[in-house]
């Protein structure tokens, strides 16, 4: 901003009249000197701390460290809470509330005398929700990722938070894990503050924040407890004050090229499929044209460089010791747009030029990747006219081109009731079809797409079969799982009319997901299909159901797409 420009906060605090008195006086009950109100950039620290979001349970302490940095740089920090979304606890799924939390963030920023924003994030949805909300206001904004937990160890073995969950049923059925073992494993999997330590959705979202240029370089890989994390928090506090002075708003950083960088980086780190939905939603808030197909055209040919669960073997703590995301950014070289600006005012090239790798088992060289073509594949076909997705790096090679008989579950309840029934007619060549788990269906598009296999197949030693649904899967999960089928079954997409015994073809190379019945038969079944009763008649969920868009559009509410900016003309009197 130039010298003649007034800080936004001065519209509240700068007046020598009644309203200036009102805006300042009440805040002074916290003990701020009067010069805090005379032209210091006011930095809002948007905190997703909550004891119900254990992954963000340390963010109150983080806020204090960020404040130190803000004060050092001559700013005035004011912390405020927003709705926090705890992945492991909230019912029916945090995704139902991502858009609500984004509204909370947006309006809390816009309505208050803030010049710059620090977003304190951690657990899966707390990152996209706050970024989406902040985009719709478009002030200078920096992200402070809460950081992953330390490595989990259980009886000498590494266990990744999240990924271990998907082995529990198998281990219990095979009798290698009893009740006491499970109790012991619980605390081994979560032995420090922080979010999931696999490359699950939280680590993916932190990585995305950095790849978009919204964090200081190198920030996203550092474990939550590490003292270097604290340094980054303090420096972020300092930096946001300068970002306000430079008027480095979100839209100056979040260009189309930044989104392409996020897609490329996600492929290289083996990140979560949830990135797709969140990144599209963020792009549509800030006004960048980003389509589902871009994830395939920009990302699918990118090689996998990072050996982290669920695609690989290691955890975020190991990744950090190996050099972390900076090494990946350097390895990717010209596959990234290297010259675009990031939060620290420098380009990717400048930020990551000096990165060094300390363990090639964990971060591969680009010439010798862990896997070629590791990005997300976007599938089309009569089963998903608006698209669906699969993460090849987490899938079984032998199932990538496969035709199998559909075993249909009409809902999650139907699945739970019948999956372990010994009479269920299913084998390893079948395709599990799960309906009713899309954005409107559950409601909220839960992470259930990677449903456990039937007990009888587990005992036979089967590790993976194709599973398709309109739902999502946890970023910590793996398997040959087709997700985000759109249009979803609850609104009468083709998925709704699939019957037991229908043949389904998945051909990832051809990008095809097909129901092998005639168009005539499809139309006949669709004409008889009846829409289910809406899942809610009042409250936020009713608003959500009335306005939520398809997965391919980011599952945002239609009325939230775009931005309203930071200008609010009317004062409170």
Least distance between ligand FES and beta carbon 543 (Å): 26
Query: Judged by CB, which is closer to ligand FES: 52, or 182?
Result: 52
Residue 87 in contact with ligand FES, rule: CB under 6 A: yes
Residue identified by tokens 């890989």 is 221
Residue 202 in contact with ligand FES, rule: CB under 6 A: yes
Helix extents (H) in 392-480: 412-418, 455-459
Among residues 27, 43, 55, 433, the one that binds ligand FES under rule CB under 6 A: 55
Among residues 123, 308, 433, 481, the one that binds ligand FES under rule CB under 6 A: 123
Query: Judged by CB, which is closer to ligand FES: 202, or 298?
Result: 202
**Cis peptide bond prior to 406, omega within 30° of 0:** no
Q: Which helix (H) or strand (E) is 118 found in, with range?
A: strand 116-121
Least distance between Mg ion and beta carbon 18 (Å): 49
Query: Judged by CB, which is closer to ligand FES: 44, or 449?
Result: 449
Beta-strand relationship, 503-507 and 401-409: antiparallel
162 binding partner (options Mg ion, ligand FES, none; Cβ < 5 to 8 Å by kind): ligand FES
Residue 88 in contact with ligand FES, rule: CB under 6 A: yes
Cβ-contact 189, 151 below 8 angstroms: no
Residue 278 in contact with ligand FES, rule: CB under 6 A: no
Q: Which stretch binds ligand FES (CB under 6 A): 98-106, 171-179, 193-201, 465-473?
A: 193-201
555 binding partner (options ligand FES, Mg ion, none; Cβ < 5 to 8 Å by kind): none
Residues forming a β-bridge with 486: 387
| Sequence-distant (≥ 6) Cβ neighbours of residue 405 within 8 angstroms | 429, 430, 431, 501, 502, 503, 504
Residues that bind Mg ion (CB under 5 A): 87, 124, 201, 474
Residue 323 in contact with ligand FES, rule: CB under 6 A: no
User: What is the CB neighbour count within 10 angstroms for residue 355?
Assistant: 18
Cβ-contact 239, 343 below 8 angstroms: yes
**Interface with ligand FES: number of residues (CB under 6 A):** 10
Q: Which of residues 372-391 bind ligand FES (CB under 6 A)?
A: none
* Closest C-alpha among 296, 270, 479 to residue 364: 270
Query: Judged by CB, which is closer to ligand FES: 164, or 442?
Result: 164
Residues 84, 125: Cα–Cα separation, whole Å: 8
HEC assignment per residue over 308-348 = ECCCCCECHHHHHHCCCHHHHHHHHHHHCCCCCECCCCCEH
Least distance between ligand FES and beta carbon 124 (Å): 5
Residue 124 in contact with ligand FES, rule: CB under 6 A: yes
Residue identified by tokens 């474990």 is 223
432 binding partner (options Mg ion, ligand FES, none; Cβ < 5 to 8 Å by kind): none
Q: What is the DSSP letter of 123?
A: S
Among residues 8, 40, 98, 195, the one that binds ligand FES under rule CB under 6 A: 195
Query: Judged by CB, which is closer to ligand FES: 7, or 55?
Result: 55
Query: Judged by CB, which is closer to ligand FES: 162, or 443?
Result: 162
Q: Which of residues 154-173 bind ligand FES (CB under 6 A)?
A: 162
- Burial of residue 505, with CB atoms counted within 10 A of its CB: 0-12 exposed, 13-18 middle, 19 or more buried: middle
* Sites of contact with ligand FES (CB under 6 A): 55, 87-88, 123-124, 162, 195-196, 200, 202
């Amino acid at each position: 901003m130039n010298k003649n420009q007034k800080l936004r906060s001065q519209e509240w605090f700068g007046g020598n009249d009644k309203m200036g008195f009102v805006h300042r006086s009440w805040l002074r009950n916290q003990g701020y000197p009067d010069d805090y109100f005379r032209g210091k950039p006011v930095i809002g620290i948007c905190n997703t701390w909550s004891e119900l979001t254990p992954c963000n349970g340390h963010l109150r302490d983080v806020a204090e460290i960020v404040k130190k940095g803000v004060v050092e740089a001559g700013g005035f920090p004011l912390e405020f809470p927003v709705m926090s979304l705890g992945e492991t606890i909230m019912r029916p799924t945090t995704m139902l509330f991502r858009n609500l939390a984004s509204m909370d963030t947006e309006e809390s920023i816009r309505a208050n005398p803030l010049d710059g924003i620090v977003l304190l994030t951690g657990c899966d949805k707390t990152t996209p929700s706050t970024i989406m909300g902040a985009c719709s206001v478009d002030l200078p904004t920096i992200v402070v990722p809460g950081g992953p937990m330390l490595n989990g160890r259980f009886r000498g073995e590494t266990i990744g938070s999240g990924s271990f969950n998907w082995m529990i049923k198998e281990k219990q059925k095979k009798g290698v894990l009893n009740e006491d073992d499970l109790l012991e494993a619980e605390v081994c999997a979560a032995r420090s503050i922080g979010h999931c330590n696999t490359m699950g959705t939280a680590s993916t979202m932190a990585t995305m924040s950095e790849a978009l240029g919204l964090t200081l370089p190198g920030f996203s890989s550092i474990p939550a407890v590490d003292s270097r994390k604290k340094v980054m928090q303090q420096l972020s506090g300092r930096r946001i004050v300068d970002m306000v002075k430079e008027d480095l708003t979100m839209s100056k950083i979040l260009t189309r090229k930044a989104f392409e960088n996020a897609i490329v980086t996600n492929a290289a780190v083996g990140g979560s499929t949830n990135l797709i939905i969140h990144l599209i939603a963020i792009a549509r808030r800030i006004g960048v044209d980003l389509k589902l197909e871009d994830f395939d055209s920009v990302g699918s040919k990118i090689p996998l460089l990072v050996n982290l669960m669920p695609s690989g073997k290691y955890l975020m703590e190991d990744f950090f010791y190996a050099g972390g995301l900076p090494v990946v950014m350097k390895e990717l070289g010209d596959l990234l747009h290297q010259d675009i600006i990031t939060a620290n005012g420098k380009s990717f090239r400048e930020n990551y030029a000096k990165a060094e790798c300390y363990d090639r088992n964990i971060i591969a060289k680009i010439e010798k990747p862990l896997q070629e073509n590791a990005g997300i594949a976007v599938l089309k076909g009569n089963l998903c006219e608006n698209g669906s997705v699969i993460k090849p790096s987490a899938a079984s090679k032998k199932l990538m081109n496969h035709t199998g008989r559909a075993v249909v579950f009409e809902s999650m309840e139907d699945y739970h009731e019948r999956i372990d029934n010994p009479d269920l007619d299913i084998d390893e060549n079948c395709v599990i079809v799960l309906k009713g788990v899309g954005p409107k269906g559950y409601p909220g598009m839960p992470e259930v797409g990677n449903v456990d296999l039937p007990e009888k197949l587990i005992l036979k030693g089967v590790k993976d079969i194709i599973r398709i649904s309109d739902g999502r899967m946890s970023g910590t999960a793996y398997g040959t799982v087709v997700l985000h089928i759109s249009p979803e079954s609850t609104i009468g997409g083709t998925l709704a009319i699939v019957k037991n015994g229908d043949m389904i073809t998945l051909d990832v190379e051809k990008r095809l997901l097909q129901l092998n019945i005639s168009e005539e038969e499809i139309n006949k079944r669709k004409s008889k299909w009846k829409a289910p009763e809406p899942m809610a008649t009042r409250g936020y969920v009713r608003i959500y159901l009335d306005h939520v868009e398809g997965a391919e559009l980011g599952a945002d509410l239609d009325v939230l797409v775009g931005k309203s900016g930071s200008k609010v003309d009317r004062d409170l009197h």
